[in-house]
A and B are shown apart, each in its own frame.
Chain A
Amino acid sequence: MLRPPNAVSQRAGRQPSSSRTDRAGAILTAVQSVSKWLFAPLGIAAATVGAVYWLDRDRDRDAWATLETACTGCHNDTDFAGELSFAGMTLDSIPGHPEIFESVVRKLRGHFMPPPGEPRPGQAEIDALISQLERSLDANAARTPGYVRARRLSRTEYGRAVKGLLGVDIDPAEYLPTEIEVDGFTNVASALSVSPTFIEQYVNVARTVAHLAVGEPVPKVAAAYFPPAPDNQRAYIDGFPPGTRGGIRIRHSFPADGEYRLTINELGVGLYPSALETEHTLVVLVDKEERFRRNIGGPEDLALSNRGGAPARAEIMARFADIPLEVKAGAREIIITFIERSRALSDDQIAAGSGRGDSSYAGAPRVPGINGGIDLLGPFESTGLSRTASRELLFVCEPEVPARERPCAEQIAARLVERAFRRPATEADLDRLMPFYEEGRLGPGGFDEGIELIVTAVLASPDFLYRTISPPVELDSTRFALDDYELASRLSFFLWSQGPDDELLGLAAAGELEQPAVLESQARRMLADARATVLVTDFALPWLNVDDLDAVQPDTQIFGDEFSEGLREDFADEIKLFVESILLEDENVRDLLTADHTFLNERLARHYGVDGVFGPQFRRVTVANAARHGLLGKGAVLLRTSYGDRTSPVLRGAWVLEKLIGTPPVPPPPGVETDLAQNPDQEPTTLRARLEAHRANPNCGACHGAIDPYGLALENFTVTGRWRDVDRDAGAAIDASAELPGGRAVDGPVSLAAALLESSDQFVQALTEKLMMYALGRELEHFDMPAVRAIVDAAAEQDYRFSGLVEGIVASEAFRMQAVADDVGE
């Protein structure tokens, strides 16, 4: 219930000081008379200006009065709530304290203040206060672009950069230390520390990458192990050849042409070899070409296994050991899978007894699957090196005669340096690198080994590893513009997570990139390029916290029927495709909240209750059911904001606040009861009932009143995102109605999305803030907020297209310039 504003000031002992009001009034009167005198000689025009001015001034004064009535009851010198007092402040204090008032804006936008339960002014008055504060802050914005310190490549960027430079695919997590995340991002400069261990691992990975790029001139036999297939082995796996079932896909960089031997460790022929009951056919494909085919199972194998026990099973598995494969050097894809056959009779699961978890047979599929890992050994009898994609990129020349070797090595080095160091190569660079070549050339690998050492040295060099911004020699200001090469790097790491391509480097060399039109057209070109998809994986999914769906493990006792690992992968695929379809197809980013299309396969469609989608492939589908529209209807989001055994309106509410509204709640204070699990001897109740009891405690209600309503509106979705009308545990109908902070009533996800859309500039701003943080590689500060709001306003003119936000960020001073560090307290 809303009370009139004066109800606030009537609270005993909390009236704003009347003397201060009087003083402010006196000053205003004085200003008024001066300005009357100023405007008087200008006649009519001046009178009009003056009228507008005074209208604004009245409006601003009203807004400030809202703050005084609503906030100073606690934020005064006596109570000093949150270590903040507005005592002695006036309208004119706003520009001088952006750090305070930006945070006030955020608290108000998130409806955290006044705390729910306390009297609050009407939403119209609060909105007027917010816009007045923002106007004042924007009009007086401090002109600093902020400072981004020298920073190394994150391990993700490292992986993408070596892929771009040398065509080598490595899993950086396998080689490099874990990065510290800030708001889900790993590219924040201040968090990218180094340690001796770090140096060792980066030198090691440089050696590995160089080796893979050059290939193995004198190959030695090496083994690689690939863990068991994560996919469900009973169904077709998306991307595999049609007509196959289950299997595993391996991507591997083969160091040389030659014979490799592949061993399949476990096909489900263990102690209870139900997989052998019927005959199946296993095939091995290299780059989609069939290389091996063998049957497993059927009466003979079954009899063998039944009579012969473990040795017989080993004999069966020996048929799938050391499978010889002739492979050419380079990155190849190997698929090991089964030919799909009729499922009649044989492929049903054995559901013993009660059907759930009681029997060790339960759920055991009667088909073989790639249940163990794959070993790959080789090369044997190497026949040399083919021209791989990596060599294509690296070897810009091949020496025909020994005399040509050194000039060619220099040519290779110069070309590599330009792309790896993101600037032209210098004589000094070559002088430093050629000794490495000379040393390697004396090894058994000759010329190639020399090149390999150059590559190692380049990748280990700080010029590759660090992105720096050098101040001009003559610095006469507190800020300066990035030079063209620095700008090229910033742009390409933003959009592609790797260094600039030739076109960008060319523009930088010509000194043209700093022209706003050129910069903008390059941003457009790069957004349209396939490499920009990393914006989804490196930016959007971490931003939405849906990049690690493994973090929630639904309880199989409760969700065994509606959840599987396959479904988890479907969630991940869907959210990626969905976000991609809006950001990269340059739609209005507000569609993230409401779009009626998504990407489904049969399993996911069934889960969502969508008819007419068949088969395992994902395809774009328009969904009629509005509850599934936008992010709020997506399994990935709903799962990620749940616990394994129950939904969490608190986590979901906090997610909405942080991601969609941009006003993250503060964590609970110490020593508070945060558990909502039920005691087994209590009567089961709905989460809503438990949360209501929780909010009744004013200590909890102060924040949870602003958090829970968003989550309660999503209670129709289970942990796994399936729709439900009844809470099975409590035996009660789901009530998804809630009054949002600010007073708007919602009931269920559709009306929640509609409510969010009404203040959707706030969503766009939340997205813009994170995108800008990601683009700059630093956390945003209060002085960035005017720029953020300006970008959002400008993007509104372009229907909030994603490219509009990107262009706004790229054109901003924060992106194109650097402050001198001391000016921002670094």
Chain B
Amino acid sequence: MYLTRKHLSRRTVLKGAGVSLGLPLLDAMIPAATALAQTAAAPKLRAGFFYLPHGAIMWNTPYGAEMDRWTPSGSGADFRLSPILEPLEPFKHQVTSFGHLENKAPQGSVHGLFPATWLSGVRPDQEATGAHMAPTIDQMIAARIGQDTVLPSLEVASETTIQSAACGSGGCYYSATLAFRDEKTPLPMEFNPRKVFTQLFGAGDTPEEREIIAGRTQSILDLINTRANELKGTLGAADRVVLDDYLESVRETERRVELASERDLSDIDLPDAPIGELSDFDEQVRLLFDLIALAYQADVTRVATYFMVGEATNRTYNHIGVPDAFHPLSHHANNLQRLEKLVLIQRYHVERFADFLGKLASIPDGDGSLLDHSMFLYGSNMSNSDRHNNYPLPMLLVGGGAGRLSGGRHIDLPERTTHSNLLLTVVNKAGFELQSLSDSTGEIAGV
């Protein structure tokens, strides 16, 4: 449990993570008028994926449209946000909402398949030994736009995503992560802010120390590389594949260490690393959003995936007056009091997301702001949590998309339009030219 020498007491860190110092924490990181802000080159797209389990309160309760607290309406000047989405008002010209999306991939599972299929649209092969699905679009995009940064992608969560209520008997492969690097590699979602910080900025207290450590890390990686190759020679074919995976990760790490040693953080006044997971959930959520903003700003990564609270979590939201555990509450049984409490939770996460958008909007990036150059998918892979169904999905696309997103509208799609159409639209906006993705029938027009 070692911290840096520039240790902050818990109170200071809590404050730093929370409301009072939320912005100053970011400001401290901003190299005033850095090269980043002055670059005139083509804007670099940032992509982000923000997942909330347990759906949203939409028109598919027995109360119908009257009880819909999610779906916005109209476009342009007539674009009206809903009670849950109202915190996005300042940014609504960069918000697109989608009606009537359906994801068939997780159907038949209670919770177990919801997180992982959100960004794949592909039903996992649950009979396979180990995980077996398809790469998720965040990872596809990272493979395209993330290769010049230290971290091709960043995967974070507010709390542990291993929730036994979601796992089912076959393991937690599909409930514990949003991101699959390839069809058989689920990526862990890190919820310890301290580890996220080290991932972003490296180990060590001072720049000199970081340099020595980076050099030694390089020799160690060389050793690992040599030995893993030798070891591979003594193994059977199937085991050589395991070592190949390992070696691939080692080479990727070498690349990162090299990139990290080349970058110049000298004019960034890095704050001290956070202590660890914060016991106050609200502060934890704010801190993780801050760290993602920081990562985009310092250009450590351009793709982030954030699991905002665990699937089937028992987390309570006392700070907004909801003492009930989220998962049991989400089985609302059409009880109006429960529905209203769920609205509060869903709106709470939108509020934190809106804070984050506000920060990005205030950070200059090339010819605009970071937000102008971002494309964020926000939503859930569930619809009515009482039914565990997947139609209609609450889903938003947010940000300027480096000029590629129109924004400011609700697009009412034909009934049961496959969610894969949206995934296809998103990857193509990020520079792909795919014809189809999973069960897609085409891109969504007017985005």
Chain A residues with a Cβ under 8 A of chain B: 147, 149-152, 171, 174-175, 177-178, 180-184, 188, 190-191, 193-201, 203-204, 206-208, 220-227, 252, 265, 372-373, 375, 377, 432, 435-436, 439, 453, 456-457, 460-463, 466, 468-471, 545, 548, 551-553, 643-645, 658, 664, 667-671, 674-675, 677, 679-680, 779, 820-822, 826
Are A196 and B333 neighbours in the complex by a CB distance under 8 Å?
A: no
Are B238 and A199 neighbours in the complex by a CB distance under 8 Å?
A: no
Q: Which of these, A150, A203, A377, contacts B220 with CB under 8 Å?
A: A203
Count chain B residues whose beta carbon lies closer than 8 angstroms to a beta carbon of A: 86
Say yes or no: is B169 at the interface (Cβ < 8 Å to chain A): yes
Say yes or no: is B203 at the interface (Cβ < 8 Å to chain A): yes
Closest A-chain residue to B220, C-beta based? Answer: A460
Q: How far is the CA of A4 from the CA of B228 in the complex (A)?
A: 65
Q: How far is the CA of A457 from the CA of B216 in the complex (A)?
A: 10
Q: Which B residues lie within 8 Å of A658 (CB)?
A: 169
Are B203 and A204 neighbours in the complex by a CB distance under 8 Å?
A: yes
Given contact pairs A225-B3, A463-B231, A664 touches B129 in the complex (Cβ within 8 A): no
Chain B residues with a Cβ under 8 A of chain A: 1-5, 7, 9-11, 107-110, 112, 129-131, 160-165, 167-173, 176, 181, 185-190, 192, 195, 198-199, 203, 213, 216-217, 219-221, 223-224, 226-228, 231, 234-239, 242-243, 245-246, 249-250, 252-253, 256, 275-276, 279, 314, 316, 325, 328, 331-333, 335, 337, 386-389
Are A822 and B237 neighbours in the complex by a CB distance under 8 Å?
A: yes
Q: Which of these, A222, A227, A553, contacts B279 with CB under 8 Å?
A: A227
Are B331 and A461 neighbours in the complex by a CB distance under 8 Å?
A: no
Tell me the minimal C-beta distance from B55 to chain A in angstroms. Answer: 14
Q: Which of these, B3, B168, B217, contacts A203 with CB under 8 Å?
A: B217
Q: Which B residues lie within 8 Å of A184 (CB)?
A: 164
Tell me the minimal C-beta distance from B417 to chain A in angstroms. Answer: 20
Closest A-chain residue to B390, C-beta based? Answer: A670
Query: Which residue, of A178, A375, A457, has the highest number of chain B Cβ atoms within 10 A?
Result: A178
Q: Which A residues lie within 8 Å of B337 (CB)?
A: 680
Query: Which residue, of A197, A377, A677, has the highest number of chain B Cβ atoms within 10 A?
Result: A197
Tell me the minimal C-beta distance from B123 to chain A in angstroms. Answer: 12
Q: Which B residues lie within 8 Å of A435 (CB)?
A: 219
Q: Which A residues lie within 8 Å of B221 (CB)?
A: 199, 203
Q: Which B residues lie within 8 Å of A147 (CB)?
A: 238
Closest A-chain residue to B13, C-beta based? Answer: A225
Q: Which B residues lie within 8 Å of A193 (CB)?
A: 131, 185-186, 245
Are B223 and A208 neighbours in the complex by a CB distance under 8 Å?
A: no
Are A670 and B253 neighbours in the complex by a CB distance under 8 Å?
A: no
Q: Which A residues lie within 8 Å of B388 (CB)?
A: 670-671, 674
Tell me the minimal C-beta distance from A299 to chain B in angstroms. Answer: 29
Closest A-chain residue to B9, C-beta based? Answer: A375
Q: Which A residues lie within 8 Å of B164 (CB)?
A: 184, 545, 548, 551
Q: Which of these, A149, A152, A664, A670, contacts B169 with CB under 8 Å?
A: A664
Closest B-chain residue to A208, C-beta based? Answer: B2
Q: How far is the CA of A78 from the CA of B201 in the complex (A)?
A: 62
Closest B-chain residue to A669, C-beta based? Answer: B108
Q: Which A residues lie within 8 Å of B3 (CB)?
A: 222-225
Q: How far is the CA of A553 from the CA of B326 in the complex (A)?
A: 12
Q: Which of these, A183, A201, A462, contacts B195 with CB under 8 Å?
A: A201
Q: Which of these, B110, B161, B252, contacts A668 with CB under 8 Å?
A: B110
Tell me the minimal C-beta distance from B148 to chain A in angstroms. Answer: 15
Tell me the minimal C-beta distance from A794 to chain B in angstroms. Answer: 28
Q: Which of these, B163, B234, B335, contacts A680 with CB under 8 Å?
A: B335
Are A821 and B223 neighbours in the complex by a CB distance under 8 Å?
A: no
Are B328 and A645 neighbours in the complex by a CB distance under 8 Å?
A: yes
9 intermolecular pairs with C-beta atoms under 8 Å apart: A181-B167, A183-B171, A191-B171, A191-B173, A265-B11, A439-B219, A553-B325, A667-B169, A670-B389
Q: How far is the CA of A181 from the CA of B7 in the complex (A)?
A: 35
Tell me the minimal C-beta distance from B105 to chain A in angstroms. Answer: 12
Q: Which B residues lie within 8 Å of A470 (CB)?
A: 234-236
Q: How far is the CA of A436 from the CA of B2 in the complex (A)?
A: 24
Do most interface residues of chain B lie in helix, strand or loop, or is the interface mixed?
loop
Q: Which B residues lie within 8 Å of A668 (CB)?
A: 110
Q: How far is the CA of A461 from the CA of B236 in the complex (A)?
A: 20
Q: Which of these, A149, A199, A461, A669, contacts B227 with CB under 8 Å?
A: A461
Are B162 and A178 neighbours in the complex by a CB distance under 8 Å?
A: yes
Q: How far is the CA of A220 from the CA of B252 in the complex (A)?
A: 33
Tell me the minimal C-beta distance from B377 to chain A in angstroms. Answer: 22
Q: Which A residues lie within 8 Å of B10 (CB)?
A: 225, 227, 265, 372-373, 375
Closest B-chain residue to A644, C-beta based? Answer: B325
Q: Which of these, A206, A667, A679, A779, contacts B333 with CB under 8 Å?
A: A679
Are B234 and A468 neighbours in the complex by a CB distance under 8 Å?
A: yes
10 new A-B pairs (CB below 8 Å) besides A552-B314, A821-B239? A181-B171, A193-B131, A193-B186, A204-B203, A221-B5, A222-B2, A224-B2, A551-B165, A644-B328, A822-B238
Are B227 and A181 neighbours in the complex by a CB distance under 8 Å?
A: no
Q: Which B residues lie within 8 Å of A171 (CB)?
A: 1
Given contact pairs A149-B239, A174-B276, A551-B164, A222 touches B227 in the complex (Cβ within 8 A): no
Q: How far is the CA of A32 from the CA of B146 in the complex (A)?
A: 73
Are B9 and A196 neighbours in the complex by a CB distance under 8 Å?
A: no
Q: Which A residues lie within 8 Å of B4 (CB)?
A: 222-223
Q: Which of these, B185, B217, B236, contacts A820 with CB under 8 Å?
A: B236
Are B235 and A468 neighbours in the complex by a CB distance under 8 Å?
A: yes
Tell me the minimal C-beta distance from A435 to chain B in angstroms. Answer: 8
Tell me the minimal C-beta distance from B130 to chain A in angstroms. Answer: 4
Q: How far is the CA of A190 from the CA of B231 in the complex (A)?
A: 19
Tell me the minimal C-beta distance from A434 to chain B in angstroms. Answer: 12
Q: How far is the CA of A372 from the CA of B236 in the complex (A)?
A: 54
Are A177 and B190 neighbours in the complex by a CB distance under 8 Å?
A: yes
Q: Which A residues lie within 8 Å of B331 (CB)?
A: 674-675, 677
Q: How far is the CA of A196 from the CA of B257 in the complex (A)?
A: 11
Given contact pairs A194-B245, A265-B9, A468-B239, A180 touches B173 in the complex (Cβ within 8 A): yes
Q: How far is the CA of A71 from the CA of B188 in the complex (A)?
A: 43
Are B249 and A223 neighbours in the complex by a CB distance under 8 Å?
A: no
Given contact pairs A199-B253, A670-B108, A821 touches B236 in the complex (Cβ within 8 A): yes
Tell me the minimal C-beta distance from A462 to chain B in angstroms. Answer: 5
Are A675 and B386 neighbours in the complex by a CB distance under 8 Å?
A: yes
Q: Which A residues lie within 8 Å of B189 (CB)?
A: 178
Closest B-chain residue to A545, C-beta based? Answer: B164
Q: Which B residues lie within 8 Å of A460 (CB)?
A: 220, 223-224
Q: How far is the CA of A182 from the CA of B112 in the complex (A)?
A: 13
Are B110 and A671 neighbours in the complex by a CB distance under 8 Å?
A: no
Are A197 and B231 neighbours in the complex by a CB distance under 8 Å?
A: no
Q: Which of these, A180, A225, A377, contacts B1 with CB under 8 Å?
A: A225
Q: How far is the CA of A156 from the CA of B171 in the complex (A)?
A: 18
Q: How far is the CA of A377 from the CA of B9 in the complex (A)?
A: 11
Closest B-chain residue to A226, C-beta based? Answer: B1
Q: Which A residues lie within 8 Å of B5 (CB)?
A: 220-223
Q: How far is the CA of A677 from the CA of B170 in the complex (A)?
A: 28
Are B110 and A194 neighbours in the complex by a CB distance under 8 Å?
A: no
Closest A-chain residue to B240, C-beta based? Answer: A150
Closest A-chain residue to B325, C-beta based? Answer: A644
Given contact pairs A644-B325, A670-B388, A677 touches B234 in the complex (Cβ within 8 A): no
Q: Which of these, B162, B165, B188, contacts A195 with CB under 8 Å?
A: B188
Tell me the minimal C-beta distance from B260 to chain A in angstroms. Answer: 10
Q: Which of these, B217, B219, B249, B335, contacts A198 with CB under 8 Å?
A: B249
Q: How far is the CA of A456 from the CA of B10 in the complex (A)?
A: 30
| 5 nearest A-B pairs in the assembled complex, by CB-CB distance | A821-B238, A223-B7, A190-B130, A675-B331, A150-B239
Q: How far is the CA of A62 from the CA of B86 in the complex (A)?
A: 70
Q: Which B residues lie within 8 Å of A375 (CB)?
A: 7, 9-10
Are A667 and B109 neighbours in the complex by a CB distance under 8 Å?
A: yes
Q: Which B residues lie within 8 Å of A377 (CB)?
A: 7
Tell me the minimal C-beta distance from A187 to chain B in angstroms. Answer: 13
Given contact pairs A180-B186, A225-B1, A826 touches B129 in the complex (Cβ within 8 A): yes
Given contact pairs A204-B198, A222-B3, A466-B231, A195 touches B223 in the complex (Cβ within 8 A): no
Q: Which of these, A177, A457, A664, contacts B223 with CB under 8 Å?
A: A457
